[in-house]
């Protein structure tokens, strides 16, 4: 079993079949949904696990892993009001800087500027 699958199963065991039978992109769709739910429930323990997993994948050399983290997970965090509000609390600044061009293509400049202000970088 691949390392990404093993790690995904550790944090989302109830999705064993989906993770084992599908690709990393499906795992990140599940992770996004679970992350949004954890934000809604203020479950900081789960949030730490989810964001750590996304960061681990993002920092790998395998394009499938870092690309999935960027386009399926990080890029869609701004779609949910709670994850938008807490974006800078959970997403490290260096990751934000790397994914910012993705966000600029998908969202209006006001929203991206709002995130910039959370990091006080632009």
Tell me the C-alpha distance between 70 and 28, whole Å: 10
Q: In which band, very low, low, confident or very high, does the pLDDT at 120 lie, cut at 50, 70 and 90?
A: confident
Is residue 49 within 8 Å of 92, Cβ to Cβ?
no
* Alpha-carbon span 47 to 36, nearest angstrom: 9
Q: Is the pLDDT of residue 122 over 90?
A: no
Could you state, in order of their start, the residue ranges of all structural domains in the chain?
3-119
3-state SS string over the chain? CCHHHHHHHHHCHHHHHHHHHCCHHHHHHHHHHHHHHHHHCCCHHHHHHHHHHHHHHHCCCCHHHHHHHHHHHHHHHHHCHHHHHCHHHHCCHHHHHHHHHHHHHHCCHHHHHHHHHHHCCC
At 1, the pLDDT band (50, 70, 90 cuts) reads: confident
| pLDDT tens, position by position, 66-111 | 999 999 999 999 999 999 999 999 999 999 999 999 999 999 999 9
pLDDT of 20 reads: 97
Cα separation, 28 vs 44, whole angstroms: 19
Model's pTM, two decimal places? Answer: 0.94
- Summarised one tens digit per residue, pLDDT across range 29-68 is 999 999 999 999 999 999 999 999 999 999 999 999 999 9
């Amino acid at each position: 079993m691949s390392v990404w699958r093993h790690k995904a199963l550790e944090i989302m065991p109830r999705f064993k079949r989906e993770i084992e039978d599908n690709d990393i992109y499906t795992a990140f769709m599940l992770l996004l949904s679970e992350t949004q739910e954890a934000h809604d429930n203020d479950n900081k323990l789960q949030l730490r696990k989810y964001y750590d997993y996304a960061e681990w994948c993002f920092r790998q050399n395998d394009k499938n892993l870092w690309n999935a983290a960027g386009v399926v997970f990080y890029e869609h965090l701004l779609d949910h009001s709670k994850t938008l509000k807490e974006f800078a609390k959970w997403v490290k600044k260096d990751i934000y800087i790397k994914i910012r061009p993705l966000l600029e293509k998908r969202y209006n400049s006001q929203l991206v500027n709002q995130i910039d202000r959370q990091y006080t970088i632009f």
